[in-house]
A and B are shown apart, each in its own frame.
Chain A
């Protein structure tokens, strides 16, 4: 263990530079914010991830956000264990009929003001599962969506850009200090 710890001390960080927020995401989030209570998030967002039917591909990439390379916590974004602690629901889809009640209840359990980010081609549309008896479809069919991050699955860097845009806009939207 000492070898690994020592190496960690002297090695360069594995973490990559943070991306600039994605333009499209900035615009989308901006719009979502206009209509919302402007609240002090203090550059800190807590996220509850909800798999509402995904193939697990999106989860793998969301997981990667927490690894030392992407290290999402440096942007003030943190994944939490309960929707009751969350500002943001990060939802993957397609929302299956068997998960739609659970998703609606998770949304209800999240305190206001809250944001919903739909992740992946299935969460944003319905992906290849369009037309099945077992799926409701995109996340927005069950809960209101503020930001969409597409991809099959979206790469961690794409997720990061979207989330950075979210934090960025949340900070800008603060009422100016007198």
Chain B
């Protein structure tokens, strides 16, 4: 195996035993900084950057290999900035500063990110010093200079039925010269709520990080717990989890394909996709007693089984919707006025996708060939063949086509999983442990890879839990793709990304 620079740096570092599934290394500030520099040069992808009291962790992945975690101890409330070398880390570092008060040394952007001055405390997970309320509008947007430029502030309350966030457009006539996002409006303090929490409570909170990815988040949380405690869900539970995860993907992709077309003023596909989404959710309710399948995946297995009738209902629904979906694809492909809006709009360059490692359709529409289901091969996907559509055109159209391909692949996966669903129990009791353990898991949500890292205590409580939604690495790219597009195409670009606000704001 060839050794890149980071592998050599980590060779000398100490691998900490308690993290399960993947190694965690503890390094000093100099090595942490050096690793940051090398990541900035394009060696390895940054999957996450988060803190706990006294420690900062980052998750890395070398293409084609398993991820690892590199940690460094916080000294005098400081740690070396990764963002100075690697732009995707900037918002993650600003978040660490807001939540813990730890200063990323050498970082250029020191503005608060999630802290809008409304919490009445500073560093809620660190020093917890009380602070005076600030005007939430008092935020230093990056200065924009130029003749004929004007600004359009949008949000936090948007026109549609969507989550809150602020977009500051700087436009030259119709053309967007720059978009700057300001997020954090739906920050609910999830990192604090999952600190020292009973296992079932932590699981319920993680399931509500982002409603559209509730299954994927519960899935990752359960896998992380199982990795940490060294046990596995029964084979039937793994199969049921797969079916649930794919149904969630189907429902979301149907919604997204319709919504993108709707934002291009093509309501016909939106109406049909709405019906398909509704069909899937109705089946979910019939089989799992919850339309979004919240809290169905639990550590140790699943809380709902698929009965014989349930499986039949799922299959007959797929049989029903497949022809309609084929018509929808044909309609999308045969309508030049629609493609006129989606093709070449919101272009994301493959180089940027490589650098930011955005998961899901955002990455796979711009040549980033990664799907956690295939590349990190967790149960029940290990050993299964399924299509992972890949495009290089990087526009709204490519992101729609990735979703179309994934819908077809998911429908096939559901059929395969149901056909090979083993008999047996669906829940394994959670084993006792005698020392604190750490676990990490990554699942493929409809939006992209979702990472959960956690530490469990012997009494079964979750000491610390961090959820990193794919949105963290996708939001900054939305700023890049809208550049030089017309303002009216922003909804189209935004919907083609469909980043989560809640999953990002935590």
A binds B: yes
User: With A3-B331, A51-B164 known to touch, is A99 a contact of B185 (CB < 8 Å)?
Assistant: yes
Let me know if B118 is at the binding interface, CB within 8 A. Answer: yes
**Known interface pairs A14-B275, A68-B271, A98-B186; A132-B210 also in contact (CB < 8 Å):** no
- The answer on a CB contact under 8 Å between B159 and A81 is yes
Is A59 a contact of B161 with CB atoms below 8 Å?
A: yes
Closest to B208 in A: A55
Q: Do the beta carbons of B291 and A155 come within 8 Å of each other?
A: yes
Report chain A residues within 8 Å CB of B272: 4
Q: Is the CB of A101 within 8 A of B188?
A: no
Q: Does any Cβ of B come within 8 Å of A172's Cβ?
A: no
Interface residues on B, range: 35 or more
Size category, A interface? 35 or more
By the criterion CB–CB under 8 Å, are B160 and A81 in contact? yes
What distance in Å separates the Cβ of B221 from its nearest Cβ neighbour in chain A? 13
Binary contact track B201-229/A, C-beta < 8 Å → 1, others 0 = 10011001111101000000000000000
Complex contact B187–A60 (CB within 8 A):
no
Q: Is the CB of B211 within 8 A of A98?
A: no
Contact segment of A23-31, A123-131, A161-169: A123-131
Q: Distance (Å) between the CB of A171 and the closest chain B CB?
A: 25
Question: Bound state CA distance, A60 and B213, in angstroms?
Answer: 11
Residues in chain B near residue A64, CB distance under 8 A: 274, 277-278, 281
Q: Which residue of B163, B193, B212, B274 is within 8 Å of A68 (Cβ)? A: B274
Known: A98-B118, A102-B156, A134-B187. A67 touches B163 (CB 8 A): no
Report if B65 contacts A (CB, 8 A). Answer: no
Pairwise interchain contact A101-B502, C-beta atoms closer than 8 A = no
> Which of A14, A101, A128, A152 has the largest count of B CB atoms less than 10 A from its CB?
A128
Q: Is the Cβ of B157 less than 8 Å from the Cβ of A134?
A: no
Closest to A129 in B: B188
**Does the CB pair B268–A5 fall under 8 Å?**
yes
Q: Given that A98-B184, A153-B211, A155-B285 are known contacts, is A132 also in contact with B189, CB under 8 Å in the complex? A: yes
A102 and B164 within 8 A (CB): yes
Residues on B with C-beta less than 8 A from A155 are: 285, 291
- Contacting residues, chain A, for B156 (C-beta < 8 A): 99, 102
Residue numbers in A under 8 Å from B190 (CB-CB): 129, 132
| Cβ of A117 under 8 Å from chain B | no
User: Considering the chains assembled together, what is the distance between the CA atoms of A3 and B325 in angstroms?
Assistant: 12
Known contacts A61-B291, A94-B188, A128-B205, A56 near B210 by CB under 8 Å? yes
Residues of A within 8 A of B505 (CB): 98
Q: How far apart sit A83 and B156, CA to CA, in the bound complex (Å)?
A: 13
- Determine whether A19 belongs to the interface, using a CB cutoff of 8 Å to chain B: no
Q: Chain B contacts of A9 at CB under 8 A?
A: none
Cα A96 to Cα B188 with chains together (Å): 6
Q: Are B119 and A133 in contact (CB under 8 A)?
A: yes
Q: Which residues of A contact B162 (CB under 8 A)?
A: 51, 59
Contact A129 B278 (CB under 8 A): no
Decide if A100 touches B118 in the complex (CB within 8 Å).
Answer: yes
Q: List 27 A-B contacts (CB under 8 A).
A: A53-B186, A54-B211, A56-B210, A56-B502, A57-B292, A59-B163, A59-B211, A61-B291, A64-B278, A67-B275, A81-B160, A94-B188, A98-B114, A98-B186, A99-B186, A101-B118, A127-B208, A128-B204, A129-B188, A129-B189, A131-B193, A134-B119, A134-B187, A152-B294, A153-B211, A153-B292, A155-B291
Beyond A50-B157, A153-B292: 16 further Cβ-contacts under 8 Å?
A3-B327, A51-B163, A54-B211, A56-B503, A57-B212, A64-B278, A79-B161, A97-B120, A98-B136, A102-B164, A102-B185, A133-B120, A133-B189, A134-B119, A134-B187, A152-B208
Which are the 9 A-B pairs with shortest beta-carbon distances? A57-B211, A67-B274, A134-B189, A132-B189, A81-B159, A97-B118, A56-B211, A55-B211, A55-B208
